[in-house]
Structure 1
Amino acid sequence: MYKYILILLGIGIFFPAKSQSLQGTVRDKQTKESLPGANVYWSNTTTGAITDTDGKFSLEAVKTLPHTLIVSYVGYRNDTLLVKSTEKPLTISLSSTVEMNAVEVTEDRGAFTMSSVDKLNTEHINRGILRKAACCNLSESFETTASVDVVLNDAITGTRKIQMLGLDGVYVQNLFEGIPFTRGLANVQGFDQIPGPWISAIQLTKGVGTVQNGYESMTGQININFLPSDGDETIYLDAFANSQNRLEANAVWTKPLNERWSTALFFGGNIENKRIDNNKDGFMDMPLREGIKLMNRWKYAGDFLRSQFIVRYNTEERTAGQIGFDYDDDFGKGSNYGFGLNFDQVEVMGKVGILSKEREDRSLGLTAIYSYTDVDSYFGNTIYKGVERSARFNSLFASKFSKYSDHSYTAGVHFLYDNYEETYADSAFSREEIVPGAFVEYTYERPRFTFVAGLRSDFHNLYGTQISPRMHGKYNLKPLTTLRATLGRGFRSPNAFADQLGVLASSRHVRVLQTPEAESSWNTGISLLHKFQLFGKDAAFNVDYYYTTFENQLVVDRDTDVNQLLFYNLNGNSDAHSFQADIQAEVVRGLGVKLSYKYQIVEVDYISGKLEKPLVPNNRALFNVGYTSPQGKWYIDATANYYGSSRLPDTSQNPEAFQIASDSEDFFIFNSQITRVLGKFEVYVGAENIGDFIQKDAIIDAENPFGSNFDSSMIYGPVNGRTFYAGVRLTITNPK
């Protein structure tokens, strides 16, 4: 069916005839920097445009001149000017709505995270918003967005996973500034391995991404920008401690070496060495941990050649289980139950960009990455080990059809090599994946309308040729109203154990009934963004709906047999519906609010019949309020998260004492933080899970972990209660 939809949409594309237009650029009055995403429109009309990434716009002229032109941008005063002619380009300078000290520029920590300029439905989380919450890693950086849910895998390991559009994070493509990373066996740790203070910005894109970055984006993309090495020489220091004896420290040093070369060093360390059992089930609420993260990046910025080279290393050891567990005394003896994880990863990546000397619109980009991941873990007396060696190369050539054309294209080739060696209990698994591929993408862009159509063809040595068509459209119904739509296919290679590590923390017998096949799905989405004035202040409303349907999926079945964990390929349907609405506003100067509601339902055909996917709440809501004092000295932030009930796996086959309800309870989680800026220092204090909600009976038969009823994977809420924390940040800048 989808191929016919693609054909019909392709036939229906129209290319408006060019008319006389007004050209111009919108800049910051003080810094002279361009302002992407500014709204430019003729007064008393529906004709408008959005500035591009360089702050430039092209606006269809009105029939009669002179006419009033209005320019607006979040955080800036509106500008109104009378246009008498369209012959010469305009340069429009906007003034910030907040008067700042001439030598002190503070980061934006406002509520606004959505832009009209993006081709795809993207939510932006900048460094200021990231600092609204505590340090310390990327998985803890989504507290102020409802687009991504971060949940515990189980009640023992402390590993986390994300969910987007109601589906697990393995269907989301993670990007290191455009390079795919944190995939395969790295899903064991997920975003826990990325320190939050290293990050400058995050872009969350819902739905399939473009074809340029690969085929694994099935429900979304999370692109992470790390602190850049160029600019002024800067030292960032961040230290954090909480009431559960968790200690973390991060340091970043950026150094421009000359006009073209720059480098940056990143360090992160964490330790958690206190055994805590707040819910009195005999198990540690969070694991004991020790870890070190290191990264070094180099950047070269020439006139026509740009390049980067990055090396990243991560190692961590975790121990969890019963309070009295000691590896030397208990492992293999059936006394105290324990969990252990040793995780090591090395990544080396490079980027090269070659700009055309004759044509500014032409460029050639090359990216490459090699990673080595080693996982060594045990659950009770069962051992899981895995080693992955991966290499990826991607090239792309971008150009307009002609120098001033509205039509452009990007084409390239791609190669992926993956080698897996895994053992679980007494079974060994290995596979080698070789995937060459090619792609082409076409873009038509006008001030009000953008259309992107791409096609990938990848030959997988195990799964055969995979064709991935994708389309994206954006139309500005009015200058401040943007409609987006997307449709596309993606696929990935499943990793039964690494993708679902937390479900191994039980006494269930693991059975892989079939050789896993490639997981593939179609994703369709539509969104509407409207910006407006509320009480004389800027506000934005966004609503979106996404539907994902799988052609094949590796099904994880905990319902058919309470004593077994079954893996098998989908035989039937697996569908996910996700609806979300957000409103963001600055209600008074310095006070921003954000309110989100999400409804999602995911259904899968199991052996026992169609059921809702367990542990996915149907209803989810978020309310965030943040206050910034006039001089930027105080930041006060509070967030309330609501999690509705979700279906729990069937335990009716257990003895009555070890049966749980069919649905979880709903609950709220409240977090708050206060930050005080003292010159180069920031001191912050906060609390998480202020209401002290703890999931009841998170572990089934916790008193008998080596018995047949033990299961710690039925987790839907926190297990470690209220937590207080404090930290300090220091930024030292040495201007050029």
Structure 2
Amino acid sequence: MKPFLIALIIALIGFEVSAQQIVKGKVYELDTKNKEVLLEGASISWINTSKGIFSNANGEFAINAQGIADRRLIVSFVGLQTDTILVNDNKSLKIVLKSNGKQLDEVVVAQQRESTMVSVQPRKTEILTSKELKKAACCNLGESFQTNTTVDVTYRDGVTGSKELQVLGLAGSYTQILTENAPVITGLGTTYGVYGIPGTQIDQIHVVKGPGSVVFGPESISGMINVELKDPMRADKLFVNGYLDGYARAELNVDKTFKINQDLSSLFSFHIDRFKLKMDQNEDSFLDMPMLQNINVLSKWKYEAGNGWFSQNSIKYLNENRQGGQSHFNFNNNQLDQSIYGQQLKTTRFEFYGRTGFVVPSGNYKSLGLQYSYVLHDLSGFYGPRSNNGRQQSLNLRLIYNQAIGKHNSINAGASYRLDKINEQFGTLMLNNDLNMPGVFVENTYTSSGNRPLSVIVGGRADWANGELVFTPRGNVKWSVDKNTDLRFSVGTGFKTANILAENANIKVSNREVVIQEPLKFEKALNYGFNVNRKFEIDYRKGSIGIDLYKTQFSNKIIPDYDTDPTKVFFHNLTGKSFANNIQVEAAYFILKPVELKVAYKYLDVFRKTDGQRIVEPFVPKHRTVASLFYESFNRKWNANFTWQWFGSKRMPYLNEIFQPEISDYNNYSRSYSTINLQLTRNWRNFELYLGAENLLDFRQQNYIVGASNPNTGFFDASYIWGPIEGRRVYAGFRYKIDR
């Protein structure tokens, strides 16, 4: 009985895939004064393999040693001497890199530290570090991709200010968003969930194009975004961030870590975001930006013992009140005055998620564990005369067993369970979107040895989703042609349930009638892609270039039809075919020792074919170009970031000739436009001041609300939005920290 209880306890605690046989340490560089300085962005990899990682902002790393026969670590950084470390035990390593003499001095080397990296794993993963996030004000996750090309941040409507994160040109619901590998942003949280993660809480963001690992579920069709928050054992003792912009939007963030004992630490984080100015720059009687108050509290605990046990758990509470509509609407009267249009949405969220695990103390590199999450989401409010209320409860469990097989293979196998109870009411429409989905999965990673290593990930899962058995196969291949060139290929399927109100919140800010024409099936798609990445060095200055090609083909997709009748939106299953083609080219180079240039171009072709007719999906720009310059002074006291973005035209939903005069510049396709963001930062030892401007050229879409003069009784739609509506935003802020 006792062995059974021990096994049961292990099964009921949990473990992340990376918590296996781990080698940890810190990387330092030796400056000109022989002082050891923590080194961010150093490359750490096992010799003759493609398994490696980068050190974080505190110089720390933790690398998996499963299946590694030759236990020598290669530690390198541009401008510093590469070192080889023999790992004989599991003690924490201290690695000090010295200058190789090719740079003038230590401060020049500092300019080469990467803020965005590509992982060495077979599945291409872009890693945005805290350094990248600091290039903009980064108030929340939805504002963290201003300098990134892979993820598009798009406006959804002109009343609530909602935005979504799009990958490969597809709606945000096709991108799986995880918080520390936990699927907490789903269902009702899809619309405003990205506002619930303050940028200052984020340590890294991992972005995967196309299908992610089968371990994390079948939902990642266009991509996966995993947000890693600050580590209680490695974050600063105290961090305070204050922000204020020219529109009187104010924000305060306070993070405090506590070391309970040698094995246990915690992080407490408090965030408040407040904006109460009634602003109507285009004089259409509607607020340009919603009034907002967002309060966010996070408590994160981490236990890490030397006997193989690991546990990390987070509790989060969010309370948000979002108010929009006409500027003279009195919110104290709620919905009593039907002659004036108002919008209000109150959201309360409780999240609990974590992972706890155990590495079996043997030479076979075995581990077992469970990841878990629970979300309670309540919303109440109204959009004009129509009320909107909803409640969601979600439970996710994921049991994982990991074991190395020989020298070249590592297998992940396990089972998962997902339960969603989602009820939403919008006007007279009542929707229940419940999901009961147990599943099993297996994934094997193969890595060859030699000078040109080949890595292959093959996995699959089977899910019993509301009584329907669905298989999800996925595969990734990486071939290192040489030490500077990687080729990758990915292919896989995915499926998801549709929550049409949460995923199409723009229909709520309209008088359109919602018509569901038939029972809606699971959305299913096949995605495959190819990319090549090449690193180079010219005149001791490094650079890189990458080319991505991806295609998504849906076997079923829920279509919101805005074109048939402007007064209605029809939802139906896909008839015909639906495609999304993506081409992206991105290059980076240090044109001067302290100046990094990044240039990227993206082409999107998203359309469906029905009855021989090719229909371009609305609100998707076919072309996008991004160019940015980042400067950091030799003494690290000053840095500046300049970002220019150009967006091509987007197809707009059909608007009947009767209503076209409501938008004076309406056309079947929007205008192209460009924006410029700029930020300057002054650094002291523990204090930073930053000043910036977004949309520096003050470009605005002037008309985006149809029927603004008669919103409650006539035809009204505030979702004809294709560009910025806020105008130029000037801001200032500070960051203060006490180092660990």
TM-score, normalisation: structure 1: 0.88
Counterpart of 1:84? none
CA positional deviation for 1:109: 8.6
Give yes or no for contact 1:332–1:380 (8 Å, CA) kept in 2: no
Counterpart of 2:142? 139
Deviations 1:149-190 (A, max 9, x none): 111110111111111100011111111122222111101213
Choose which of 459, 466, 475 in structure 2 pairs with 1:454: 459
Cα distance, 1:150–1:724 mapped onto 2, change above 3 Å: same
**1-structure distance, mates of 2:730, 2:544:** 33
Counterpart of 1:429? 431
**2-structure distance, mates of 1:33, 1:689:** 34
Deviations 1:651-699 (A, max 9, x none): 1343452362010000001000000012211000100100100013111
Give yes or no for contact 1:161–1:190 (8 Å, CA) kept in 2: no
Give yes or no for contact 1:112–1:584 (8 Å, CA) kept in 2: no
Cα distance, 1:427–1:60 mapped onto 2, change above 3 Å: closer
Choose which of 252, 255, 265 in structure 1 pairs with 2:255: 252
Partner AA of 1:196 in structure 2: G
Counterpart of 1:538? 542
2:224 equivalent to 1:183: no
**1-structure distance, mates of 2:544, 2:616:** 33
Other structure's SS at 1:180 match:
coil
Cα distance, 1:732–1:546 mapped onto 2, change above 3 Å: same
Partner AA of 2:459 in structure 1: G
CA positional deviation for 1:72: 8.7
Counterpart of 2:17? none
Partner AA of 2:416 in structure 1: H
2:492 equivalent to 1:521: no
Counterpart of 2:735? 729
**1-structure distance, mates of 2:735, 2:83:** 41
**1-structure distance, mates of 2:105, 2:184:** 41
Counterpart of 1:197? 200
CA positional deviation for 1:361: 2.2
Give yes or no for contact 1:106–1:632 (8 Å, CA) kept in 2: no
Instruction: Note the residue ranges of structure 1 that are not aligned, 5 or more in a row.
Output: 1-24, 42-47, 62-70, 82-90
**1-structure distance, mates of 2:657, 2:569:** 14
Choose which of 705, 713, 718 in structure 2 pairs with 1:712: 718
Give yes or no for contact 1:644–1:666 (8 Å, CA) kept in 2: yes
**1-structure distance, mates of 2:683, 2:42:** 29
Other structure's SS at 1:278 match:
coil
CA positional deviation for 1:591: 0.9
Deviations 1:9-63 (A, max 9, x none): xxxxxxxxxxxxxxxx99656579898746899xxxxxx75452467999999xx
**1-structure distance, mates of 2:503, 2:110:** 37
Give yes or no for contact 2:600–2:626 (8 Å, CA) kept in 1: yes
More off after superposition, 337-346 vs 230-239: 230-239
Q: Percent identity?
A: 29
Counterpart of 1:614? 618
Other structure's SS at 1:498 match:
helix
**2-structure distance, mates of 1:608, 1:331:** 46
**1-structure distance, mates of 2:77, 2:507:** 45
CA positional deviation for 1:128: 1.1
Deviations 1:537-586 (A, max 9, x none): 10000110110111111111111111111111111111100110110111
More off after superposition, 505-514 vs 654-663: 654-663
CA positional deviation for 1:265: 0.3
Counterpart of 1:472? 476
Deviations 1:590-646 (A, max 9, x none): 211111100001002468943110010000010110100111111111101111001
Counterpart of 1:348? 352
Other structure's SS at 1:264 match:
strand
Q: How does 1:502-521 map to 2 (within 5 A)?
A: 502-521=506-525
Counterpart of 2:497? 493
**1-structure distance, mates of 2:609, 2:409:** 44
**2-structure distance, mates of 1:130, 1:715:** 27
Cα distance, 1:128–1:709 mapped onto 2, change above 3 Å: same
Other structure's SS at 1:191 match:
helix
Partner AA of 2:646 in structure 1: Y
Deviations 1:517-540 (A, max 9, x none): 111111101100000013431000
2:598 equivalent to 1:586: no
**1-structure distance, mates of 2:438, 2:64:** 38
Cα distance, 1:437–1:528 mapped onto 2, change above 3 Å: same
Cα distance, 1:51–1:424 mapped onto 2, change above 3 Å: closer
Counterpart of 1:115? 118
2:669 equivalent to 1:667: no
Cα distance, 1:98–1:50 mapped onto 2, change above 3 Å: farther
TM-score, normalisation: structure 2: 0.87
**2-structure distance, mates of 1:230, 1:115:** 25
**2-structure distance, mates of 1:80, 1:417:** 49
Cα distance, 1:439–1:683 mapped onto 2, change above 3 Å: same
Cα distance, 1:358–1:351 mapped onto 2, change above 3 Å: same
Counterpart of 1:650? 654
Cα distance, 1:114–1:98 mapped onto 2, change above 3 Å: farther
Cα distance, 1:75–1:280 mapped onto 2, change above 3 Å: farther
Cα distance, 1:413–1:208 mapped onto 2, change above 3 Å: same
**1-structure distance, mates of 2:364, 2:79:** 30
CA positional deviation for 1:236: 0.4
**2-structure distance, mates of 1:732, 1:717:** 40
2:414 equivalent to 1:416: no
Counterpart of 2:330? 326
Counterpart of 1:337? 341
**2-structure distance, mates of 1:679, 1:151:** 37
Choose which of 698, 701, 725 in structure 2 pairs with 1:695: 701
**1-structure distance, mates of 2:331, 2:118:** 52
Q: How does 1:565-644 map to 2 (within 5 A)?
A: 565-605=569-609, 609-644=613-648
Q: How does 1:50-69 map to 2 (within 5 A)?
A: 50=50, 52-53=52-53
Partner AA of 1:548 in structure 2: T
**1-structure distance, mates of 2:558, 2:298:** 34
Give yes or no for contact 1:119–1:474 (8 Å, CA) kept in 2: yes
Q: How does 1:214-293 map to 2 (within 5 A)?
A: 214-231=217-234, 234-293=237-296
Other structure's SS at 1:502 match:
helix
**1-structure distance, mates of 2:243, 2:612:** 48
Give yes or no for contact 2:497–2:523 (8 Å, CA) kept in 1: yes
Give yes or no for contact 1:37–1:51 (8 Å, CA) kept in 2: no
CA positional deviation for 1:248: 0.6
**1-structure distance, mates of 2:378, 2:106:** 49
Counterpart of 2:445? 443
2:140 equivalent to 1:127: no
**2-structure distance, mates of 1:362, 1:36:** 28
Counterpart of 1:8? none
Partner AA of 1:585 in structure 2: Y
Cα distance, 1:718–1:588 mapped onto 2, change above 3 Å: same
More off after superposition, 607-616 vs 623-632: 607-616
Other structure's SS at 1:567 match:
strand
Deviations 1:173-213 (A, max 9, x none): 11112222211110121311110001111111111001111
CA positional deviation for 1:332: 4.3
CA RMSD of aligned residues (A): 2.9
Deviations 1:295-329 (A, max 9, x none): 10111111210001210111100110111111344
CA positional deviation for 1:118: 2.5
Partner AA of 2:626 in structure 1: L
Partner AA of 1:692 in structure 2: D
Cα distance, 1:531–1:106 mapped onto 2, change above 3 Å: closer
Counterpart of 2:163? 160
CA positional deviation for 1:107: 8.8
Counterpart of 1:64? none
